[in-house]
Amino acid sequence: MSKKVPTESKIRLVIPAKSEYVGLARLTIGGLVRNISDDEEVVEDIKLAISEVYNNIMLQTKAVEQSTVNLVINIYNDEICIDISCSGRDLELTALTPIVWSEPRDRGYGLSLITALIDKVELTQGPLNKTTLRLRKSLIV
């Protein structure tokens, strides 16, 4: 593993909670992870998970202008931990168990993908009692 970003780093990103910025969020996180892991599957898994979280936030914040998605990325020796919260409205991922549909649905796949791709997904209470979604993913293959 060639690491170009020092371990024990903390990086903060604040991105507008608008659909046109999801690509920017994904590419920024992807570029960062690519600098700490040579495993392209890890990079793609994290990019997809971030995109899914963003989708969820988009659904919740449609009516809230000026909302931002706040990402705090902690890089450890063998793990990346990403805390995601949203200004303007609390995250409402109250249930982290994916729903199994009896027939194909045109929505509701995001949580299944996040929990399948990320090693540990948890909801925590951040500053000011804001709900934060924490994603932990091992960088070791």
Residues near other proteins (CB under 8 A): 19-20, 22-23, 26-27, 41, 44, 47-48, 51-52, 54-55, 58, 104-107, 109-110, 112-113, 116-117
Q: How far apart are CA 21 and CA 19, in angstroms?
A: 5
Closer of 113 and 123 to other proteins (Cβ): 113
Closest contact distance (angstroms) between CB of 130 and other proteins is: 22
Contact between 60 and 91 (Cβ < 8 Å): yes
Residues in CB range of 104: below 8 A, 6 or more apart: none
Closest contact distance (angstroms) between CB of 117 and other proteins is: 8
Q: Which of 135, 138, 140 has its CA nearest to residue 49? A: 135
Closer of 41 and 78 to other proteins (Cβ): 41
Closer of 80 and 117 to other proteins (Cβ): 117
Closer of 23 and 31 to other proteins (Cβ): 23
Closest contact distance (angstroms) between CB of 51 and other proteins is: 4
Closest contact distance (angstroms) between CB of 6 and other proteins is: 28
**Cβ density class 18-42: b for 16+ within 10 Å, e for less:** beebbeebbebbbebbbebbeeeeb
Q: How far apart are CA 89 and CA 60, in angstroms?
A: 8
Q: How far apart are CA 104 and CA 96, in angstroms?
A: 20
Closest contact distance (angstroms) between CB of 15 and other proteins is: 13
Closer of 68 and 126 to other proteins (Cβ): 68
